[in-house]
Structure 1
Amino acid sequence: MRVRSSRFLLPALLWALPAVVSAQAAPPFSAADLGALRLRNIGPASMSGRVVDMDVVESNPSTWYVAGATGGLWRTEDNGVTWASTFDAPVHSIGDVAVFQPNPQIIWVGTGERASRQSVGWGDGVYKSTDGGKTWQNMGLATSMHIGRIQLHPRDPNIAYVAAQGSVWGAGGERGLYRTTDGGRSWTRTLAVNDETGATDVAMDWNDPNVLYAATYQRRRSAYGFDGGGPGSALWKSIDAGATWTKLTGHGLPDGEYGRIGIGVYRKNPKILTVSIEQGARYNASTAYIVRKAGVYRSDDAGATWTFMSDWNPRPMYASQVIIDPNDDQRIYMLNAYSFSDNGGKTFTAPRTTTHGDDRFVWVNPANSRHVVKLDDGGIGISYDRGNKFLYVTSLPLSQFYRVTTDNAVPFNIYGGLQDNGCWMGPSASWNTNGVLNDHFSRLCGGDGFHVTPNPLNPRTVYSASQFLGLQRNDTKTWEVQDIRPGDSTGHIAGRRNWETWGKPGATQVLGNAMHPANWDAPFIISPHDTATVYAGGQHLFKSVNSGRTWKDLGDMSTGVDRSTLPLMGRKPGENTLSLDDGVPYFPGVTALAESPRAKGVLYVGTDDGRFRVSRDGGMTFTDVQSRFPGLPKDSWFAGVDASRHAAGTAYVVVDNHRSNDFTNYVYATADFGTTWRRIDAGLPANRVARTVREDPRNAKLLYLATEFGVFISPDAGGQWVPLRNNMPTMPFNDITIQARDNTLVLGSHARGLWILDQLNALQELTPAVAASSAHLFTVQPAMQLRTTNVRPHTGDMHFRGENPANGALLDYWVRESGTVVELTVLDSAGRTVQTLKPTSVRGVNRIVWNLRYADLPIRSGGGEDDDAGPSATTPGPLVVPGTYTVRLSTGGAAQQQRVVVKEDPRVTVSRTERAAWTAFHREIAALATSHAPVAERWRAMTGTDAATRDGKRQASELSARISGLYGAVARYTGAPTSDQRSELRFYTRMAAELGKAGR
């Protein structure tokens, strides 16, 4: 099979469908027109998301390539101290990375995470770089969706094997083991089983590259469950470079159906194999570590015979992989629950570490087995004592957010839930010149974090939810927590499975614990009309009017389907179903929930089994409306609903049906309380998979859409859509919120943490008329004079620094033509010029920052607010007095102007009179510095050698430094100057006058 290669080949299955084009006119602006609206990434990086694979340049083991599950590929050249993103392709999810060791400029990446979990990302085939990751080319296998492993020939750069798993959500596509002998220009499928089975692992005999071992894996996931095995799962061997394969059975291997299999070949003696095999009855829950016929097997004769070593194989759906120390065949590392064996797999030790316990890959340095790197759900651990104790990388921002909200603190806080890293809160900006740091964030809950919402009237109280509606109420002053999960008086019970036993065929399933069923990402909301009223969605909808102390059951919101009757891969689940419903222990349940901010008691409720209900009386009665969504398949997953802030009957809904192998965009709107719905996704490129839709709080026509492959905005309520790319790579976004007071967009990425777009005014005001104009000045958000400093100790370079907002007023303007000459003048209330800016402009929205100061001074800085800034040829002018200013845009024609409100840092408590006097004194120093600068320059240029000239040059230079020092000293404290400072200024003024006369 020959596959066309290109710079970025988009997969036929997901992307090659033509985008549905809106019947309306093209948007008045393009994505490129918005490029100046740069977003800030604030991480965090100390609680990273899943890191799934790595390879190391063995000739230079300080250079690593590390793959995030959804965060792309990253490179370090200093053993993990600093990182650079090196793979920003049209897809974000990665399953495997492989470096060709004889020439490490050649790197292969298989896209699409190999784990079969419920939140897995997918890819578009195999990529290759021949320049060390600077550029990439898609080499095909576009419909493989998930790549389990890439095995490179140890000497021939043109030979590679790819284990293609195929879609976890459906049959078909490119799945099986593929081989290329021409560097990826063409591929041959050498091992195929059926449309439900792909290859998940491949390994090679280091001494004889013709000898290969492969694992095939039959599995299927859906909205309602998981089946992790079948007759297609098997262990295979080839002795002719994959031309033919022999299925390995018996001779010590277990009978029956297999699930996931992992293969390890000992590097020093490739006849020694260790494999992990998922197999056996009663392995029917994600956390049920029950004795079973599965685990670790060893062969000492290249797979001819096998010895059962132990049944240790924690949660095989997720990992089921053994790693053999390349220098010691007795040292075995087992993935998922970090553990190792020193007797070939007979017994395992799970050391207590300060890293995340759920590991995804372990690399052992072939030159030094004490050097171990562990990748896990929280980041990267580096060990120099063979994996007992670790340094933890805290500089790689791969956190995976599910939900985000904000409060009204200054600066406002962001709250969110992270994949397997709990719930957190942290500031959107900091007073630290280094930016938003990891330790600015505080933890609120454990487990998988999801919805987190502060009480709007009392932000000290924060509600947080872990998986399956593990609802808590947190006190963020004392850090006390109360469990308030509906229906569970003792709180959130940790059990995760629907039924504990199956019994005989036909017997009733027994609920495994007392916890009321709820979706993994079950929502709750605080009523916008009463902060004591909370709604929470399990399978039933619950309502509390006393902040969660008691609950009223409003009834089952789902269809009530019995999922034990629903088949996967053509068969119903049973007691021998491998990894039964792993990750989906509860179904069905509520997945979308909102109350109208305009009409109290108007509720919208959607479920994961295709039911959507509307109540107009606070949940007393409901109307089913799911049949009124045009073009929506039955049983679809309602992912989110946003009730309008502008119109009582308006709401927006997104449906995510990819769990049924349907990657279509489904975005809907209603204007009549859900009686009728219309689709508003026609202007989107195909198969983005919508996750969240939000209406802008100021402009009812402006919508924001979070998808698996980026964020889109619509200027006309869904008629047209424009991607909001700017400086962001391709990544999945699960949630969006708008901080109304600051008019700021907050994006929760499930890949690279939190992203913030400050000041949405330009997006809100960019009408077709504005886009058609030659120039336009947008309104300006109030700006605050922030006093930032750094009072922390030295931290070294393994330290993530989230970006602070610009310290000033953001001046956004539009020009129709690049190169338009623009002048922006800031005026005070008396019409006097404060500062003039002359930026270079390009077509579209342009952004420049006024620093809330008077014009820069022509002196070298002598120690201002930011000592880290270092000396500069100019010094920022004095801060203006807080108040109202005018910014005027001139382009050669008629001028436009907008008001700018300047606010003081809320921590500065001086009186208005004293504050004005401080600026006035600062301006006196600035005026002296400005007038003395040319005098000092004249003295510097003098060439005389007489004593008077030498003294004058020295005094002029010293006076410049003294004035600069006084200027900086006054800048460091907002308040009335001291008598010494006033005396200094008088003395410097006299000296400047004397030097001015003498230097003429």
Structure 2
Amino acid sequence: MKQITILFLLLVQSAISQNSLFNQVEAKNIGPTIMSGRVVDLAVNPKNPTEFYVAYATGGLWYTNNNGTSFTPVMDSAETVNCGSVTVDWNSGTIWVGTGEVNASRSSYAGVGVLKSSDKGKTWENLGLKDSHHISRIWVNPSNLNEIVVASVGHLYTTNKERGIYKSTDGGKSWKQTLFVAEDTGIIDLAVSKNNPKVMFAASWQKDRKAWHFDGDGEKSGIYKSEDGGTSWQLVTSKESGFPANEGVGRIGLALFNENVIYAVLDNQNKRPKVASKNKLTTMLSTPGADFMEISNKELNIALKESGFRDKYRAENIKNWVADNNMEPKEVLAVLSDANKALFETEVIGCEVYKSGDGGKSWKKANQNYIDDMFYTYGYYFANISVDEKNQNRVYIGGVPLLFSEDGGKTFDIISKENVHADHHVTWVNPENPNHIINGNDGGVNISYDNGGHWIKCNNEAVSQFYAVNVDYQENYNVYGGMQDNGVWFGPNNYSHNVAWHQEGKYPYQELMGGDGMQTQIDSRNPNVVFTGYQFGNYYKINQKEGKFDYITPRAPKGEKPYRFNWQTPILLSSHNQDILYMGSEFLHRSMNQGETWERISGDLTHGAKEGNVAFGTLTTISESKFQFGLLYAGSDDGKINVSKDGGASWQLISGNLPQNLWVSRVAASTHKKERVYATLNAYRNDNFESYAFVSEDFGATWSNISLGLTNSVNVIVEDSVNENILYVGTDNGLFISLDKGATWQDFSNGMPKVAVHDAVIQTKAKELIMGTHGRSIYKIDISKVQELTNEVLAKNLYLFKVNDRTKSDRWGTQNYAWGTPSEPSQEIWFYSNADGKVNVSIANESGKAVHTQNVAAKKGLNSFVFDYSMPKNVADNWNKKDKNIKIKEAENKKFYLPIGKYKVTISKDKVSESKTFELTAPKKQ
């Protein structure tokens, strides 16, 4: 299947949205906020630094004019909320956003080029460079807004030509590529002299990302200089310059003090001299088993990272190989050495700071010692540097910690504190008060007025990046979710953002564990028992009531290679018996006692190991039919789907006639038909954003394509729990719904921006769809009316849904305090219309007298209007006169509310009418 461009997909999605039957069905955000999400850039008003914009990687652009006390989203109407950079002209209020995150992580989404807003975010126009995918910097000449220079990283997973430096002199109407290094090398940073904007420096970055391996360095990485405002460029980091110039040069960040003095922070992937540092991990794994087990997980994880295993193994994995004398540490050393010899020989140099005092002609390394515990082996995620505009010796660099130097980069001190999240991506330094800094990191925004001595946390908005969500079935049920770099949390489904918890002392959501939060399963018999974990298969059984955390990840038998676990390892509690737990590595594992012991119930269900520095050839999704215990499906990251009809005794490959070698994002057994199963594939790791969704009616023997009309990569498919014709699909650019088993699709994202929907689940008792988004936290949608849209209802011209009964209250229309608001009831009344037009509404009492009438402008699809149980004064007066048993009094808010009794709601259009009754009942006596 051919690759589809992002722009075409967005045009299709726009048309789908306009034709949707669900434009009044609104998704409600239910948080959380306190954990925030990854910040990629800041734009601060230098004349009023309480006013600034924050660009989130996948959460859009947000604006504050009260120093981060609150934020307003300003990009939600745009084609995407995936950001790479932001630039603002504070005189005119014009905003430019370079879309597509440039950090090259596993969840860095592509953009749609350069977006511009001339009305502070109300509307946006696309200025082009759509195939650049990831834009790192935009510079706009403050003296001439038509002169724009853009730095583009290019595609993340594939090579392409639309990368490098582009310049426009007509405000973005046309572009000229002024610097092109190579199809695998883009521009990761751009710095422009404020005193002389003709002088610019650009950092090129050669990289090769695959699902199984990431190579973030190359000899084409370097620094270029322009002396004519970006029209022409010259490489200034030659081998004679003093700056590294070889295949170990990784990502580079730039900061200009003036046109002559420039700093560069480098992810140097060249090896350290062996005599300089013995490999920490080798030393640790040379110790006896008992001593090895005493090494802290933190120290061991640091050593694993420094040896290149951050994306393959964690301390808990390693220690469990050693536990119970299963393996000696030296045996672990042999396994790891064999798997990654090149990285294991010695440490890389890592973070370095270089300085030039002659406009880039020559460079000197600034740091005196190795800057350890800064980048580890993932400097590709960082490389940002800032300098005080009035003191060239005051320098900030961001990595896992935030570091500060006041001697020009010779030495550094950590300034990130306990309420500041790790992984720092941008630091703004106030030119008028250098102790005032604003920092953006993986956990949001922090502000300091004493140069990092103390920090304000500005996480007030729902921009968390969820990988997975789930629900329990308590009366007021909880939602659970795992987030990128922010752990696993749970909270009430009726959460509404406010800051009352500051006064009460307890945030409504609570953390279950840290790390990169992953999937969660909740014991339906005891919601205190939760199974969850973090990246690469580190899972726990948590008993919240007893305070127990039991590590349950299965480990390979002695003599076998360690199991391969996906970044987001799938787990599943059997619906047939909540003692039975499934978990996937390259094998499917089953526990009959909630993870205490495990058995392998399959062979390798993938194409096998694919060596690299990221675990690959792993299971990504598991499903079990509710109709039959042991009817199991498993999908892998390398494109395989297998089925077992006998509890794992035998397996059959069922993906042979599907598109090959794509990531299986979901396999889901039907809840309505035993033979039915759904599968979705995802190709964005090939920079292919086409939709792949399929259904089989014969256990996967044959498949039907149900992708037509979908746009963008598919992450999850959910079959409705009541109406088998209804499907929900979460994509990298929103949520979609089908009313006809996937034959056609409609937009179902009203109330939420075009954000990636990673996971979704139905709370069947509440009839609510819960969605975990990767950038805007969790949403829920009331699908009770949607589920009633059967073929019979859809064939009607007009259909009125059930109107709920209500208990009358004497407090309607009253208020507690003079400054309070009156207590006013309301009910949302829903109806379906098969066409646009005016609908007449009448509400009558038991005598048939109309007590309320109104006209509603209806759109084709689901519609609603709000009734507040009041009637006009003349209707109340007439009713009082005709019925001596009724005494309708005017409430404090000057309204007349319906008395206790039965009522009929009638809607009509074009000689067609529908009616439903409801009752106002007396309050129960205490």
Q: Do the structures match in fold with TM over 0.5?
A: yes
Match of 2:354 in 1: 297
Q: 1:814 aligns with which of 821, 832, 835?
A: 832
Q: What do residues 748-780 of structure 1 show as CA deviations (whole Å, max 9, x unaligned)?
A: 11111111112x233223356544533211346
Match of 2:737 in 1: 713
Match of 1:13 in 2: 5
Q: Does 1:766 align with 2:789?
A: yes
What displacement does 1:874 show? 3.2
Match of 1:116 in 2: 104
What displacement does 1:783 show? 8.2
Q: Does 1:239 align with 2:227?
A: yes
CA contact (8 A) 1:431 1:786 kept: no
CA 1:12–1:679: 2 relative to 1, 3 Å: closer
Match of 1:799 in 2: none
CA 1:720–1:784: 2 relative to 1, 3 Å: farther
CA contact (8 A) 1:431 1:788 kept: no
Q: Whole-Å Cα distance in 2 between the matches of residues 488 and 387 of structure 1?
A: 45
Q: Whole-Å Cα distance in 1 between the matches of residues 515 and 475 of structure 2?
A: 29
What displacement does 1:832 show? 9.0
Q: Secondary structure at the match of 2:685?
A: helix
Match of 1:400 in 2: 465
What displacement does 1:271 show? 2.2
Match of 2:414 in 1: 350
CA contact (8 A) 2:267 2:380 kept: no
What displacement does 1:76 show? 1.0
Match of 2:818 in 1: none
Q: What do residues 319-371 of structure 1 show as CA deviations (whole Å, max 9, x unaligned)?
A: 11111122322222112222222222222222333121112111111111111
Q: 1:536 aligns with which of 566, 573, 583?
A: 583
CA contact (8 A) 1:430 1:436 kept: no
What displacement does 1:214 show? 0.7
What displacement does 1:694 show? 0.4
Q: 1:318 aligns with which of 381, 387, 390?
A: 381
Q: Which runs of 5+ in 2 are unaligned?
A: 273-305, 311-342, 813-823, 877-890
What displacement does 1:479 show? 4.1
Q: Which moved more, 1:442-451 or 1:327-336?
A: 327-336
Q: Whole-Å Cα distance in 2 between the matches of residues 431 and 205 of structure 1?
A: 45
What letter matches 1:449 in structure 2? Answer: G
CA 1:269–1:166: 2 relative to 1, 3 Å: closer
CA contact (8 A) 1:261 1:321 kept: no
Q: Whole-Å Cα distance in 1 between the matches of residues 744 and 786 of structure 2?
A: 14
What letter matches 1:601 in structure 2? Answer: G
User: What is the RMSD of the two structures over their aligned residues, measured on CA atoms?
Assistant: 3.5
CA contact (8 A) 1:628 1:675 kept: no
Match of 1:90 in 2: 79
CA contact (8 A) 1:761 1:778 kept: no
Q: Secondary structure at the match of 1:425?
A: strand
Q: Does 1:592 align with 2:610?
A: no
CA 1:787–1:200: 2 relative to 1, 3 Å: farther
What letter matches 1:243 in structure 2? Answer: T
Q: Whole-Å Cα distance in 1 between the matches of residues 720 and 844 of structure 2?
A: 29
What displacement does 1:622 show? 0.8
Q: Does 1:485 align with 2:514?
A: no
What letter matches 1:327 in structure 2? Answer: K
What displacement does 1:541 show? 1.3
CA 1:738–1:896: 2 relative to 1, 3 Å: same
Aligned residue runs from structure 1 range 916-927, under 5 A? 919=922
What displacement does 1:787 show? 14
Match of 1:416 in 2: 481
CA contact (8 A) 2:259 2:359 kept: no
Q: Does 1:701 align with 2:741?
A: no
CA contact (8 A) 1:823 1:891 kept: no
CA 1:432–1:333: 2 relative to 1, 3 Å: closer
Match of 2:648 in 1: 619
What letter matches 1:842 in structure 2? Answer: A
Q: Whole-Å Cα distance in 2 between the matches of residues 667 and 673 of structure 1?
A: 15
What displacement does 1:121 show? 0.9
Q: 2:544 aligns with which of 452, 476, 493?
A: 476
What displacement does 1:745 show? 1.4
CA contact (8 A) 1:217 1:234 kept: yes
Q: Does 1:840 align with 2:856?
A: yes
What displacement does 1:849 show? 4.6
What displacement does 1:641 show? 1.4
Q: Secondary structure at the match of 2:146?
A: coil
Q: Secondary structure at the match of 2:86?
A: strand
Q: What do residues 142-172 of structure 1 show as CA deviations (whole Å, max 9, x unaligned)?
A: 1000011122334332222111011111011
CA contact (8 A) 2:565 2:585 kept: yes
What letter matches 2:785 in structure 1? Answer: A
Q: 1:339 aligns with which of 403, 421, 426?
A: 403
What displacement does 1:825 show? 3.6
Match of 2:392 in 1: 329
CA contact (8 A) 2:565 2:584 kept: yes
CA 1:320–1:194: 2 relative to 1, 3 Å: same
Q: Does 1:178 align with 2:201?
A: no
Q: Secondary structure at the match of 2:656?
A: helix
Q: Which moved more, 1:238-247 or 1:180-189?
A: 238-247
What letter matches 2:831 in structure 1? Answer: Y
Q: What do residues 396-449 of structure 1 show as CA deviations (whole Å, max 9, x unaligned)?
A: 211111111112223221111111111111111159998999811111121111
Q: Whole-Å Cα distance in 2 between the matches of residues 787 and 280 of structure 1?
A: 77
CA 1:146–1:826: 2 relative to 1, 3 Å: farther
Q: What do residues 913-936 of structure 1 show as CA deviations (whole Å, max 9, x unaligned)?
A: xxx8xx36xxxxxxxxxxxxxxxx
Q: Secondary structure at the match of 2:404?
A: strand
Q: 1:167 aligns with which of 155, 163, 167?
A: 155
Q: Whole-Å Cα distance in 1 between the matches of residues 116 and 652 of structure 2?
A: 53
Match of 1:913 in 2: none
Q: What do residues 608-650 of structure 1 show as CA deviations (whole Å, max 9, x unaligned)?
A: 0121110011112111112132xx0x22110011211110111
Match of 1:906 in 2: none
What displacement does 1:54 show? 0.9
TM-score normalized with structure 1 length: 0.76
Aligned residue runs from structure 1 range 457-606, under 5 A? 457-487=525-555, 516-564=563-611, 581=613, 584=614, 586-606=615-635
CA 1:350–1:620: 2 relative to 1, 3 Å: farther
Q: Whole-Å Cα distance in 2 between the matches of residues 253 and 563 of structure 1?
A: 35
Q: Whole-Å Cα distance in 2 between the matches of residues 405 and 278 of structure 1?
A: 41
Q: Which moved more, 1:361-370 or 1:548-557?
A: 548-557
Q: Secondary structure at the match of 2:188?
A: strand
TM-score normalized with structure 2 length: 0.81
Match of 1:68 in 2: 56
Q: Whole-Å Cα distance in 1 between the matches of residues 639 and 602 of structure 2?
A: 16
Match of 1:198 in 2: 186
Q: Whole-Å Cα distance in 2 between the matches of residues 787 and 475 of structure 1?
A: 45
Instruction: Report the identity percentage.
Output: 32
Match of 1:728 in 2: 752
What displacement does 1:689 show? 0.6
Q: Whole-Å Cα distance in 2 between the matches of residues 401 and 432 of structure 1?
A: 18
Match of 1:377 in 2: 442
Q: Whole-Å Cα distance in 2 between the matches of residues 599 and 399 of structure 1?
A: 37
CA 1:74–1:130: 2 relative to 1, 3 Å: same
What displacement does 1:266 show? 3.6
Q: Whole-Å Cα distance in 1 between the matches of residues 770 and 808 of structure 2?
A: 22
What letter matches 1:848 in structure 2? Answer: F
Bigger radius of gyration, 1 or 2?
1
Match of 1:908 in 2: none
What displacement does 1:706 show? 0.2
Q: Whole-Å Cα distance in 1 between the matches of residues 243 and 179 of structure 2?
A: 21
Q: Whole-Å Cα distance in 2 between the matches of residues 346 and 540 of structure 1?
A: 50
Match of 1:925 in 2: none
Match of 2:636 in 1: 607
Q: Which runs of 5+ in 1 are unaligned?
A: 1-10, 491-509, 565-572, 574-580, 790-805, 860-869, 903-915, 921-973, 977-1000
What letter matches 1:50 in structure 2? Answer: R
